[in-house]
């Protein structure tokens, strides 16, 4: 029998799990600040719901073995299950968050922080919205999150699927190549331009198409990129999208979240369902890819509609995911990470029943504690344990003191010793 976790998955030891708990709490608090409510969906979905959503990556979906029931598969992201939830309940609007693990049967890479099971935190605004109002809130919320993790400087790159398609049209790239050209371009932040161009050539683009494309996709900046687009042929193809991005930038300035914002025409996002603004967040000077990504997907919820219904139900939607597993890999882990306040030791004898009694009193007073379970009662060792784990107080049960109703309390940092009446322990330790 092989004692390991499945390929591409990992355990969290207590130190790591505590860092994750803190990461999840901080993320949740910001989602709640933005007025979002939680939902939860199963870890697996009917396979039919996941098909035709993820482009070339559909092959990465994990199927469950079918023992004569429904065809099911592990969720690939939290966006499609959320859309299924909306459509199933015919909801018109919601601002929701969801934090959960997702599954991709990809080639794992520890260096690049790519796992087959990883934790995502999703934030989505569904429902009719004034142009760019929800979209700019995504920037604002992502900006607040990337700041709160305290990992270093970051950028938030935005573009718009409609602009990308406008560029493709102007470069005379045939429609049937849009998806595959998008996915090549999307690699620009991790691959050299020359290599991208070689890939595009292999995919059937002419030199002229590639040269034209390069004029656009290397443009990134702020208002200058918008000015460039306005003065260019492409503007006729996607004027609304360009004006929208302009508005987005303006709203972000009002909400004081434009400092890290970059308009980047190389941004492409691989998934099939985006229809408008697209967004990615990335820490600078970190050897991992983007840690957050999303965009507007105005047709996904409607497309899930059962064909037996009239086709009028649809909800415009925009959102993003934070890759918490990637954030985790960038975080400086704290050395001492304990929730425990007290360790109960004993001198000479085991004093089991006495320790049980003290435990019970402290627990009743909501004071977290540890004690020893085996026969090795060594207050010296226990003190070292307290120092190592950041436990503040060491209680030592001693026979003579105990018989009079007292125990010794040592403040670990200062070595200060006090003899305290047992009944007064809660007030002394609080």
Give dist(CA 317, CA 300) in Å, integer: 8
Could you tell me whether strands 317-323 and 292-296 are parallel, antiparallel, or unpaired per DSSP bridges? antiparallel
Contact 221, 245 (CB under 8 A): no
Residue 263: its H or E element: strand 261-264
Query: Mask of contacts with its own copies, 135-174, x by CB under 8 A?
Result: -x---x---x------------------------------
CB of 226 to its own copies, least distance (A): 18
Within residues 24-43, the interface with its own copies by CB under 8 A covers 32-35, 37-43
Contact 302, 217 (CB under 8 A): no
Distances (CA, A) of 1 to 5, 8, 44, 229: 12, 18, 27, 61
Within residues 342-371, the interface with its own copies by CB under 8 A covers 350, 352-353, 356-357, 359-360, 363-364, 366-370
Q: Is 78 annotated as a binding residue?
A: yes
- Both tokens assigned to 402: 């105990």
Q: Is 326 annotated as a binding residue?
A: no
Residue 220: its H or E element: strand 220-221
Q: Is 283 annotated as a binding residue?
A: no
Q: Is 207 annotated as a binding residue?
A: no
Q: Does 95 sit near its own copies (CB under 8 A)?
A: yes
Give dist(CA 92, CA 227) in Å, integer: 36
Within residues 230-259, the interface with its own copies by CB under 8 A covers 251, 254-257
Q: Toward its own copies, which CB reaches closer, 306 or 414?
A: 306
Q: Does 387 sit near its own copies (CB under 8 A)?
A: no
- Both tokens assigned to 78: 């939290």
Within residues 186-225, the interface with its own copies by CB under 8 A covers none
Contact 75, 103 (CB under 8 A): yes
Kindly indicate which of the ranges 203-211, 265-273, 278-286, 333-341 contains the residues binding its own copies, using the contact rule CB under 8 A. 333-341
Q: Does 12 sit near its own copies (CB under 8 A)?
A: yes
Q: Toward its own copies, which CB reaches closer, 199 or 250?
A: 250
CB of 281 to its own copies, least distance (A): 18
Q: Toward its own copies, which CB reaches closer, 198 or 392?
A: 392
Residue 44's DSSP bridge partners are 74
Q: Does 134 sit near its own copies (CB under 8 A)?
A: yes
Nearest by Cα to 56 from 232, 172, 186: 186
Q: Toward its own copies, which CB reaches closer, 34 or 286?
A: 34
Within residues 265-284, the interface with its own copies by CB under 8 A covers none
Q: Toward its own copies, which CB reaches closer, 198 or 341?
A: 341
Q: Does 385 sit near its own copies (CB under 8 A)?
A: no
Give dist(CA 301, CA 72) in Å, integer: 20
Q: Does 130 sit near its own copies (CB under 8 A)?
A: yes
Kindly indicate which of the ranges 159-167, 219-227, 302-310, 420-428 contains the residues binding its own copies, using the contact rule CB under 8 A. 302-310
Give dist(CA 385, CA 391) in Å, integer: 8
Query: Mask of contacts with its own copies, 45-84, x by CB under 8 A?
Result: xx-xx------------xxxxxx-xx-x-x---------x
How many residues touch its own copies under the rule CB under 8 A: the total is: 96
- Both tokens assigned to 33: 């600040």
Give dist(CA 356, CA 371) in Å, integer: 9
In the 8-state DSSP scheme, what is residue 207? H
Nearest by Cα to 348 from 296, 402, 306: 402
Nearest by Cα to 61 from 103, 120, 89, 93: 103
Q: Toward its own copies, which CB reaches closer, 33 or 193?
A: 33
Nearest by Cα to 241 from 161, 319, 177, 172: 161
Beta-carbon-side half-sphere exposure of residue 310 (alpha carbons within 13 Å) = 1
Q: Toward its own copies, which CB reaches closer, 117 or 199?
A: 117
Q: Does 106 sit near its own copies (CB under 8 A)?
A: no
Binding residue for its own copies, selected from 175, 285, 306, 312, defined by CB under 8 A:
306
Handedness of CA 255, 289, 192, 171 (dihedral sign): negative
CB of 319 to its own copies, least distance (A): 13
Positions at the binding site? 77-79, 104, 120, 124, 269, 273-274
Positions at the binding site for L-histidine? 77-79, 104, 120, 124, 269, 273-274
């Amino acid at each position: 029998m092989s004692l390991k976790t499945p390929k591409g998955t990992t355990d969290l030891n207590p130190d790591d799990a505590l860092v994750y708990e803190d990461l999840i709490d901080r993320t949740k608090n910001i989602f709640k600040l933005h007025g979002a409510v939680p939902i939860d969906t199963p870890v697996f979905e009917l396979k039919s719901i996941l098909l035709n959503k993820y482009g070339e990556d559909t092959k990465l979906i994990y199927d469950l073995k079918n023992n004569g029931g429904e065809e099911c598969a592990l969720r690939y992201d939290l966006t499609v299950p959320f859309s299924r939830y909306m459509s199933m309940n015919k909801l018109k609007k919601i601002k929701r968050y969801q934090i959960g693990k997702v599954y991709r049967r990809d080639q794992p890479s520890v260096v690049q922080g790519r796992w087959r099971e990883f934790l995502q935190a999703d934030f989505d605004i569904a429902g009719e919205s004034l142009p760019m109002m929800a979209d700019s809130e995504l920037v604002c919320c992502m900006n607040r999150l990337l700041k709160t993790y305290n990992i270093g400087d970051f950028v938030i790159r935005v573009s718009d699927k409609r602009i990308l398609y406008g560029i493709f049209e102007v470069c005379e790239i045939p429609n049937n190549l849009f998806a595959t050209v998008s996915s090549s371009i999307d690699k620009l932040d991790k691959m050299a331009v020359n290599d991208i161009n070689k890939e595009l050539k292999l995919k059937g683009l002419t030199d002229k198409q590639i040269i034209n494309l390069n004029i656009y996709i290397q443009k990134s900046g702020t208002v200058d990129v918008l000015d460039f687009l306005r003065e260019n042929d492409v503007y006729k193809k996607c004027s609304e999208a360009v004006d929208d991005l302009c508005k987005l930038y303006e709203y972000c300035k009002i909400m004081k979240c434009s400092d890290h914002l970059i308009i980047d025409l190389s941004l492409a996002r691989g998934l099939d369902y985006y229809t408008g603004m697209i967004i990615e967040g990335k820490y600078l000077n970190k050897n991992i890819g983007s840690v957050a990504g999303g965009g507007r997907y105005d047709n996904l919820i409607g497309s899930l509609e059962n064909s037996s219904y009239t086709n009028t139900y649809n909800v415009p939607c925009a959102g993003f995911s934070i890759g918490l597993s990637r954030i985790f890999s960038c975080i400086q882990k704290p050395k001492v990470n304990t929730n425990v306040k007290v360790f109960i030791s004993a001198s000479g004898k085991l004093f089991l029943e006495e320790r049980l009694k003290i435990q019970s009193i402290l627990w009743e007073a909501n004071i977290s504690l540890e004690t020893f379970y085996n026969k090795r009662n060594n207050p010296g060792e226990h003190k070292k344990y307290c120092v190592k784990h950041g436990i503040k107080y060491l209680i030592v049960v001693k026979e003579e003191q105990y018989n009079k109703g007292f125990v010794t309390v040592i403040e670990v940092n200062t070595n200060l010793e006090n003899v305290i009446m047992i009944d007064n322990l809660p007030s002394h330790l609080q």
